[in-house]
């Protein structure tokens, strides 16, 4: 097995006991590796980076170095005053000292430390969990807020730039295969109409950025609930993982992504469409947690665009899934035919629920 072979190429003591797939990522392949010596055991995360999505894995690893070293230092500085032990995974180098290992097929692999005695969840478990998700996101954004954006590579060009995804959707739709898939079912036709109705609005954040109202800052990029680690002993958030998309962006992408993920109790893969709605109680709880950490770095303009951000990132993820369905599932991994169409319908249904609850959400935003 390739993963077993590669796992031995990292600077870890002992002998390989097991290497098993773990997690639920839609892009990279993730494994848990266990090595043992005569007196101890080391567990770590091994990942094959998806080259189709990330054309420059070396840049991801550069960013990871910059971010983890910076954040580890800041966590240390604040440790005596913190209400918990904050963690962030560290890069485990290869035996040759490099941050990644390239296998015989030119595939890039990396090893990162495991956040011990902590778990993440696919869905929000409780109000307490929701609050922790908000705190963890706010804390991470605060920890990276003083990294100059010029120090970070753009690891994924166009990430969260919704008009760019619209262009890709148009391109997919213009191909014979795309046209066939778009017309293949009433569900697919409904998705197409859903996108068309929101075409003019979907540049709202990029327009604000271009006008200079919103500024680029270091962001996480993918703060979905499954990337938030909760301490098994305290129930408090202890870390955010999946640092591939930490790069310059709008903090709105993060807030929108965290909320679209956490406030949909049915989860991203549900097929029970009646169970999908945007839970505004969870939304308020998450934002209150987030504000504990982030209040000081939000400007008036930032706040002004929060509702649009919440609506947009659900729409955008639906658009990304739908465009990938039209293109023949080239980006997001799938395990059954039509999965990306199903995922798109979930996000569009969630987006609709956000639109219906606009007044309540804006009231929450006014209160926090
Ligand atoms: C992808 O690979 P994973 O599961 O961490 C995607 C995110 C989506 C998410 C939806 C690089 O994240 O943008 O929000 O799926 N990551 C990339 O589950 O495209
Ligand atoms: Mg990710």
Q: What is the pLDDT of residues 261-275, one digit of tens each?
A: 999 999 999 999 999
Task: Residue 264: count other Cβ atoms within 10 Å of its Cβ.
Answer: 26
* Pocket of ligand 1, beta carbon within 6 A: 25-27, 53, 156, 222, 224, 242, 245, 257, 268, 317
Return the ligand number nearest the Cα of 54.
1
Q: Is the pLDDT of residue 282 over 80?
A: yes
Mean per-residue pLDDT of the chain: 97
Which atom number of ligand 1 is nearest to the Cα of residue 28? 2
Four-residue CA torsion sign, 325, 193, 250, 298: negative
CA of 244 to the centre of ligand 2 (A): 6
Q: Which of 226, 215, 282 is nearest to 253 (CA)?
A: 215
Instruction: Measure the CA–CA gap between 111 and 89, rounded to whole angstroms.
Output: 10
- Nearest residue (by CA) to ligand 1, atom 7, is 222
115: nearest Cα among 262, 227, 244, 246: 227
Residues shown for the chain: 368
Average pLDDT over residues 340-358: 99
What is the residue extent of each domain of the chain?
A: 1-114, 118-368
- In this prediction, residue 330 carries a pLDDT of 98
What is residue 49's predicted lDDT score, i.e. its pLDDT? 98
**Hey, whose CA ends up nearest to atom 8 of ligand 1?**
222
**Number of C-beta neighbours around residue 353 at 10 A:** 17
pLDDT by residue (tens digit) across 159-209? Answer: 999 999 999 999 999 999 999 999 999 999 999 999 999 999 999 999 999
Ligand closest in space to the Cα of 268: 1
Q: Residue 86's closest CA among 218, 231, 244?
A: 231
Q: Return the percentage of the chain with pLDDT > 90, whole number.
A: 99
CA-atom Rg of the chain in angstroms: 21
Q: Indicate whether 113 pLDDT > 90.
A: yes
CATH 3.90.1200.10 fits 118-368, yes or no: yes
Question: Residue whose CA is closest, atom 1 of ligand 1?
Answer: 26
CATH fold, domain 1-114, is Phosphorylase Kinase; domain 1 (3.30.200)
Does the predicted model carry a pTM greater than 0.85? Answer: yes
Dist. CA 24 → ligand 1 center (Å): 10
Assess whether pLDDT exceeds 90 at residue 1: no
């Amino acid at each position: 097995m390739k993963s077993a072979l590669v796992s031995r190429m990292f600077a870890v003591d002992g002998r390989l006991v097991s290497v098993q797939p773990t997690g639920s990522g839609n892009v990279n392949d993730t494994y848990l590796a266990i090595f043992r010596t005569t007196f101890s055991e080391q567990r770590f995360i091994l990942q094959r980076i998806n080259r189709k999505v990330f054309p420059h894995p070396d840049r991801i690893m550069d960013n990871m170095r910059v971010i983890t070293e910076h954040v580890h230092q800041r966590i240390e500085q604040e440790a005596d005053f913190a209400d918990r032990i904050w963690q962030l995974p560290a890069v485990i180098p290869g035996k040759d000292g490099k941050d990644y290992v390239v296998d015989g097929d030119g595939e890039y692999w990396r090893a990162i430390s495991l956040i011990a005695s902590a778990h993440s969840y696919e869905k929000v478990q409780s109000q307490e969990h929701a609050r922790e998700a908000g705190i963890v996101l706010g804390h991470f954004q605060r920890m990276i807020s003083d990294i100059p954006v010029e120090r970070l590579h753009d690891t994924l060009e166009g990430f969260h730039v919704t008009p760019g995804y619209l262009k890709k959707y148009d391109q997919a739709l213009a191909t014979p295969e795309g046209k066939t898939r778009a017309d293949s079912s009433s569900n697919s036709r409904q998705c197409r109409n859903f996108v068309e109705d929101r075409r003019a609005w979907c540049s709202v954040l990029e327009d604000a950025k271009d006008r200079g109202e919103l500024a680029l800052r270091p962001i996480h990029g993918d703060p979905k609930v499954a990337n938030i680690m909760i301490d098994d002993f305290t129930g408090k958030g202890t870390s955010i993982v999946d640092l591939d998309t930490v790069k310059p962006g709008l903090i709105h992408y993060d807030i929108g992504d965290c909320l679209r993920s956490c406030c949909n109790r049915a989860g991203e893969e549900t097929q029970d469409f009646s169970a999908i709605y945007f839970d505004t109680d969870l939304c308020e709880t998450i934002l209150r947690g987030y504000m504990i950490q982030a209040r000081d770095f939000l400007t008036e303009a930032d706040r002004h665009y929060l509702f649009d951000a919440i609506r947009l990132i659900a729409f955008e993820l639906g658009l990304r899934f739908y465009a990938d369905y039209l293109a023949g599932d080239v980006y997001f991994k799938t395990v059954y035919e039509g999965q990306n169409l199903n995922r798109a319908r979930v996000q569009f249904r969630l987006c609709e629920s956000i639109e219906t609850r606009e007044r309540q959400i804006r009231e929450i935003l006014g209160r926090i």
